[in-house]
Amino acid sequence: MMKALLSDLAFVTFTLTFTVNVFAKDIAEDYFKLELEDSLELDLEDSLELPTEQFTEEKIQNGTFSLANKRTPIWDLLESSLTLGNFNSNVAGIRSSKNTLTLNVSTSTDIPSVGFMDISANIGLWEGKKKFNNELMLFTIQNSFSDIQWKIGKFHKSWGNVDGALVLDIINPAETILRKKLPGMELSSRWLAEVTFYNGRNTSEFFTNFRNDTIHDVAAASKKSGFEFGLKSSYDIDNGQISFYLASIYPQKGVINIATGLSHSNRYKLLGLSIQKDLRNFLLNFDLAQKIDLNRSTLKNLKACNRIDGAASLEYAHTPYEKWFFKLESSIWENSLEPYYIPSSLGFVRDENQSLNYSLAYSKNTTDEKFNNTISFGGNGNGNSIYLSGESTYSVSDNTKLKANFLFLDTQVKDSNYFPGNSNWFNFGVTRYF
């Protein structure tokens, strides 16, 4: 395992170092002569934020790494942060604790002949049973030039407008409530390639991958593999945006055949729509998706079924530092005349043909944005589960942040995520930016 970690670190370090030197050489040849004395200096930035997916002309012209600052030392092209986290859980009376160390590294620059380039990586390290485990959470190479942007690597890709809804969040690996993360930590990701085209009020993007990343809780019936692809086209409207989606993908999580106990993963199709509308102090988001040929299990076999998923959210910002958030999410199976079942901790339970989930959240930041807090409450419509969660981030300085969150969960026997007794999670962390 340590060999794998060293291999990952060596690969990321080599890639970043090689890229920085290539960029620096190109810039030096075309624009200025590098001074060796300056290149050996290390100038810590006051505030280092990880680059976002969307590159803008403003960032290129005025960003930290703009060519306007032609005397920036080579190593100042690197941004990094280190997060130490402590994760504690009590699930059905079983307590556990884990410490993790997460390293973020990125480099970005603008080369007129190439465009804006960015390389980022995120590696997690934690102690397991008498050994260290590691995971490459993020590794991306992306470029923006003119009206085209491309990105390749391992990353978390967001579809849909409703925050936290699963209606159009179909690309990333399935998240589990047992794996709680600190605020700002990288979410589960996968290897993808995407390209985005900008044309006035229209933005179109295409993504693909060449490996099926379906998670199986039990033995898989077969290891089906094939490429997945998706298309998204967005149009700006008055005070908002409307987007259309088309995809052919595999499920994030395998469906278990109750009769055989084996997990299956078959390709399904998706047609989707999302709308965002800004109404003064209110922000309305809406996601809708038709999912075709999803698997469901009877007591005898699997059947292909269709499902409609929808979600809506309303955000109200009373001030720039306060926000209320309310969300409803629902699913309806079509032509479901016979009973279907899903596994649970007690064997299996009836899979409802309709479901409804809700959540209400309130967040508040201080005027200097040093202290950020969010608390949320939610559950499902049939009363089988209910939760209370919260998170806080405090900026000790421009280079240091403290983070914490908690979750209380209560589930009933009929819920597929049932745990005997209440369960809770408490997590703490500190992030240092360099």
DSSP state of 75: G
User: What is the Cα–Cα distance from 284 to 242, expressed in whole angstroms?
Assistant: 12
Per-residue model confidence (pLDDT) at position 377: 95
Least confident window among 225-239, 349-363, 409-423: 409-423
Region 187-198: what's the mean pLDDT?
Answer: 93
Contact 292, 326 (CB under 8 A): no
Cα radius of gyration (the chain): 23
Average pLDDT over residues 10-36: 41
Tell whether the model's pLDDT for residue 112 goes beyond 50: yes
Q: Check whether 251 has a pLDDT greater than 80.
A: yes
- Distance from CA of residue 13 to its chain's centroid? 24
Instruction: Supply the pLDDT for residue 416.
Output: 63
Q: Does the model's pTM come out above 0.75? A: yes
Percent of the chain topping pLDDT 70 = 78
The Cα–Cα gap between 30 and 82 comes to 35
What's the pLDDT band for 28 if we cut at 50, 70, 90?
very low
Average pLDDT score, the chain: 82
Min mean pLDDT across 25-29, 328-332, 366-370 is at: 25-29
Say if residue 344's pLDDT is above 50. Answer: yes
Residue 431 has pLDDT above 60, yes or no: yes
Continuous segment of H or E residues that includes residue 301: none
pLDDT band for 292, please (50, 70, 90 cuts).
Answer: very high
pLDDT at residue 72 in the model: 54
**Domain segments of the chain: what residues?**
2-153+268-433
Judge whether residue 247 has pLDDT over 90: yes
Residue 94 amino acid letter: I
Q: Tell me the average pLDDT across 125-154.
A: 90
User: For residue 73, what pLDDT is reported?
Assistant: 56
Is residue 312's pLDDT more than 70? yes
In the CATH scheme, what is the code of domain 2-153+268-433? Answer: 2.40.160
Block residue for tokens 């699997």: 302
Q: Which residue has the higher pLDDT, 257 or 218?
A: 257
8 A C-beta contact, residue 412 and residue 419: no
What is residue 168's predicted lDDT score, i.e. its pLDDT?
94
Identify the CA nearest to 123 among candidates 184, 82, 151, 157: 82
Residue 24 has pLDDT above 90, yes or no: no
**Average pLDDT of span 175-190:** 76
**Most confident residue range from 7-21, 354-368, 404-418:** 354-368
Q: Which of 30-34, 271-275, 354-358 has the highest mean pLDDT?
A: 271-275
Highest mean pLDDT among 28-32, 45-49, 281-285: 281-285
Q: What pLDDT does 305 receive?
A: 94
Reply yes or no on whether the pLDDT at 5 is more than 90: no
Instruction: Give the integer Cα–Cα distance in Å for 130 and 373.
Output: 37
What is the pLDDT, as a whole number, of residue 27? Answer: 38
Label residue 10 by pLDDT band (50, 70, 90): very low
pLDDT at 193 over 50: yes
pLDDT higher than 80, residue 53: no
Distances (CA, A) of 158 to 18, 177, 221: 30, 19, 29
| The pLDDT value given to residue 415 | 66
Which tokens belong to 377?
């409450």
pLDDT at 67 over 60: no
Reported confidence tier of residue 177, pLDDT bands at 50, 70, 90: low
Residue 19 has pLDDT above 50, yes or no: no
Question: Rounded mean pLDDT of 164-192?
Answer: 82
Nearest to 185 by CA among 107, 126, 249, 265: 126
The pLDDT score that the predictor gives to residue 122 is 94
Between 327 and 344, name the one with better pLDDT: 327
Report the pLDDT averaged over residues 320-345: 90
